Amino acid sequence: MFRFSHPAYLYFLLIIPILIGLFWFASILQKRAINRFGNLDTLKQLMPEISFKRGWLKTSIFSIAVLFMIIGIAGPQFGSKLTEVKRKGIELIVALDVSNSMMAEDIQPNRLERAKQAITRLVDKLSNDRLGLIVFAGDAYVQLPITNDYISAKMFLSSINPGIVPKQGTAIGAAINLAASSFTPQSETSKVIVVISDGENHEDDPLEAAKKASEQGIYVYAIGIGSPQGAPIPTSANETQPSFWKDKDGNVVVTKLDEETLSKIAVAGNGKYIRATNTQFGLLSLFDDFNKMQKTEMKEMVYSEYDDQFQYFFVVALVLFLLEFIVLERKNKWLIKLNLFGVNKR
């Protein structure tokens, strides 16, 4: 893997052909000036120390030194490294309902997509906090273990849909229990679970799960998404003629927001309940509460894909600049017999 951290500086490489062109033009003018006094080959005998090749040698060395200097300034990066990072933040796990009822469109574009958009905006505001992601329907699953890798969080989030869980339903209690066991052991920083659901058709005891989490020092917040009036559940978002889920009697199923249950979950979990709307989802307002919580220093090893290597280019450039300075434009009378640079003595 290789890249430049500041690739715009590579435009300065245009300086090199300009330098070579200027020297070439100056050497032509120099030879023309000498020719005014007579034949160049004859005049060379009167100027034994002059060397046109040394000028080109110095220019070549200088140009290569400039090349390495510009590459170094552009910030070459390659390889990889692991670095220890210290952060102060909380641990946050979002438990997202992915049951079929989350496809209802009383919240635009639908409940699930609106929730995913809000979580993405929350991730953009996080800096030192650790984030985990759990999805649940009839059962709960860890979609993303708790981490500081926000890029991965967005990638996993984008792939979420009702089809990723094999069992339908709304097992909020299972999601809270799984989230409570997914935090970093022995960590003293504040721990928060945010349940995002319509709250309908819960199959277990979410209040007991929220109460147990609270006894462990974990805050449980709830965001209700949907409307109390309810909406039908589309069977497919791609059909030109929309169709909806029906019960065994052929009646269209209408899914309604169960605010009472979600409010009780938040109370049992020592948290807060917020109802999401088309204009205000509620996650960002909870972010202010998170910032007020106790935060402890967390250490972790972070993989960095690129490692700076500019120093090697600067060293080579410095050596070449010194070499260019040492090389004389004229032949040294003490060294002329050694012919160090392999130039013709003429």
Q: In which residue are the tokens 């999601």 written?
A: 175
Answer whether residue 333 is part of any domain: no
The SS3 call for residue 231 is strand
Bridge partners, residue 222, by sequence = 195, 273
Mean pLDDT of all residues in 116-129: 91
Q: Is residue 274 located within the same domain as residue 313? A: no
Q: Is residue 335 part of a domain?
A: no
pLDDT at 167: 87
Q: Does 258 share its domain with 150?
A: yes
* Bigger pLDDT: 54 vs 276: 276
Distance of alpha carbon 144 from alpha carbon 152, whole angstroms: 8
Whether residues 100 and 67 share a domain: the answer is no
pLDDT score recorded for residue 46: 54
345 in a domain, yes or no?
A: no
Same domain for 114 and 57?
A: no
Residue 117 clears pLDDT 90, i.e. is over it: yes
Same domain? 108 vs 211: yes
Lowest mean pLDDT among 167-171, 240-244, 253-257: 240-244
Share of the chain above pLDDT 90, in %: 46
Whole-number CA gyration radius for the chain = 35
Q: What percent of the chain has pLDDT over 70?
A: 82
- Quote the mean pLDDT of the chain: 84
Question: Could you tell me if residue 188 is inside a domain?
Answer: yes
Average pLDDT over residues 321-325: 87
Q: Is residue 158 part of a domain?
A: yes
Position 332 in a domain: no
- Is a pLDDT exceeding 50 seen at residue 62? yes
pLDDT at 341 over 60: no
Tell me the per-residue pLDDT of 326-339, one tens digit each, with 9 for 90 and over.
876 655 554 445 55
What's the CA dihedral at 326, 330, 336, 341 to 10 degrees? 60
Q: 149 CB contacts (<8 Å, ≥6 apart)? A: none
**Residue 119: CATH number of its domain:** 3.40.50.410
Asked whether the beta carbons of 135 and 160 are under 8 A apart, the reply is yes
On whether both 194 and 280 belong to a single domain, the answer is: yes
What does the pLDDT read at residue 294?
76
- Token couple for 237: 């978002």
Residue at 336 is within a domain: no
Residue 342 forms part of a structural domain: no
23 with 122, same domain: the answer is: no
The whole-number average pLDDT for the span 86-104 is 91
> What mean pLDDT do residues 153-162 have?
92
CB atoms within 10 A of CB 321: 17
The residue among 288, 209, 256 whose CA lies nearest residue 107 is: 256
Are both 66 and 146 inside the same structural domain? no
Whole-angstrom distance, CA of residue 301 vs CA of residue 41: 69
Domain that holds residue 38: 2-79+307-326
pTM above 0.75, yes or no: no
Cβ partners under 8 Å of residue 227, min gap 6: 106, 107, 256, 257
Q: Which of 93, 298, 86, 299 is nearest to 191 (CA)?
A: 93
Both 42 and 103 in one domain: the answer is no
| pLDDT for 303 | 58
Looking at the fold, whether 253 and 268 belong to one and the same domain comes out as: yes
pLDDT given for residue 248 in this prediction: 82
* pLDDT for res 82: 64
- pLDDT at residue 203 in the model: 75
Going by pLDDT thresholds of 50, 70 and 90, the confidence category of residue 346 is very low
User: How many domains would you assign to the chain?
Assistant: 2
Span 203-210, average pLDDT? 90
**Do 130 and 53 have their domain in common?**
no
**pLDDT interval class at 218 (50, 70, 90):** very high
pLDDT at 92 over 80: yes
User: What pLDDT, on the 0 to 100 scale, is given for residue 209?
Assistant: 95
Per-residue confidence band for 23, with pLDDT thresholds at 50, 70 and 90: confident
Query: 182 and 273 share a domain?
Result: yes
Pick 297 or 289 by higher pLDDT: 289
